[in-house]
Amino acid sequence: MQLELKNVTKSYDDIIALNDVSLCLAPGVYGLLGSNGSGKTTLFRIISGVLKQTTGTVTYNEKDIRANSDEFRSILGFLPQDFSYYPDFTGMKFMLYIAALKGINRNFAKRRCLELLKLVGLDDVKDKKIKKYSGGMKQRLGIAQAMINDPEVLILDEPTVGLDPKERVRFRNLISSFSKNKIVILSTHIVSDIEYIADEILVLNKGVLENRGPSSKLIETIHGYVWETEIENDKLDDMLIVHLISNQKHAGNRTVLRIISKEKPTPDAKQVQPTLEDLYLYYFRMEAGR
């Protein structure tokens, strides 16, 4: 089981959304990290065959996914970022509708839909209209529909948006139990979700795949760059301008800053263990306001 991108580039007129991305994925859970506009949605749409790359190839088990689109679609599950629901359908009707679109036998579909709705915690509201669902409930329905055909390749664009912490834990457990012998790729801005779920992290920055690896290995690349230092509050504004700050903790007239810097930021700064959140800021510092 292997999903492979070779030299994939996507341009929208003069914008290069993906730039020569090559990537080979075996079964496992992959977390795609990237700031806004880094090309995550474009990558997902290309991998799921919704969008055609400008150049390069995408193959699944060495077969071009576009040339074998029916076959690929039958083993693909996709939750797009802008997933649209039918507000007047009930959750169950919507699931059965998606199952029918995927050509799943109706008797089996009913069992599978009930099972999935239960797994995402929507069984007690399955007969309610979707327009009455909360954002988190709709999101869980989106996750359930993506898994309807027990896909070998599951792509989830921001699946944890709108989920509360309890629902996020449920989601993580769902993915871990589902992902055996499957390729699961998901993006989220909630770094801790990726840290818990993903076997490997893919770092996409301005359309370029900058790095990949287990989170512990990627975090190691910024070892020695994360510091804590305590300063007087009146020095805070200057520090915020000069440094990339990943956290500030106020205590009276002093503040403890967590700073990402290759050099020691203050004489009494102490090195601390980096986290994935520090790594995110390190890669995507512009988003942190610098």
Ligand X SMILES: Nc1ncnc2c1ncn2[C@@H]1O[C@H](COP(=O)(O)OP(=O)(O)OP(=O)(O)O)[C@@H](O)[C@H]1O
Which CB sits closer to ligand X, 79 or 125? 79
Which CB sits closer to ligand X, 43 or 119? 43
CB of 290 to ligand X, least distance (A): 19
Q: Identify any residues that bridge with 103 across adjacent strands, giving them in sequence order.
A: none
Pairing between strand 226-232 and 254-260?
antiparallel
Which CB sits closer to ligand X, 158 or 200? 158
User: What is the C-alpha to C-alpha distance for residues 245 and 165, in angstroms, rounded to an integer?
Assistant: 25
Which CB sits closer to ligand X, 15 or 256? 15
The closest of 130, 134, 92 to 114, measured between CA atoms, is: 92
- What's the angle, vertex CA 69, arms to CA 50 and CA 42, rounded to 5? 20
Pairing between strand 270-271 and 254-260?
unpaired
CB of 171 to ligand X, least distance (A): 19
Q: Identify any residues that bridge with 58 across adjacent strands, giving them in sequence order.
A: 5
246, containing H or E segment: strand 244-251
Which CB sits closer to ligand X, 37 or 87? 37
Q: Taking a C-beta distance cutoff of 8 angstroms, is the pair 30, 54 a contact?
A: no
Contact residues toward ligand X (CB under 6 A) are 12, 15, 17, 34, 36-42, 81
Q: Taking a C-beta distance cutoff of 8 angstroms, is the pair 21, 56 a contact?
A: yes
Which CB sits closer to ligand X, 45 or 168? 45
Characterise 97 by phi-psi region: left (phi > 0), alpha (psi -120 to 50), beta (else).
alpha
Q: Taking a C-beta distance cutoff of 8 angstroms, is the pair 200, 27 a contact?
A: no
Residue type at 259 in one-letter notation? I
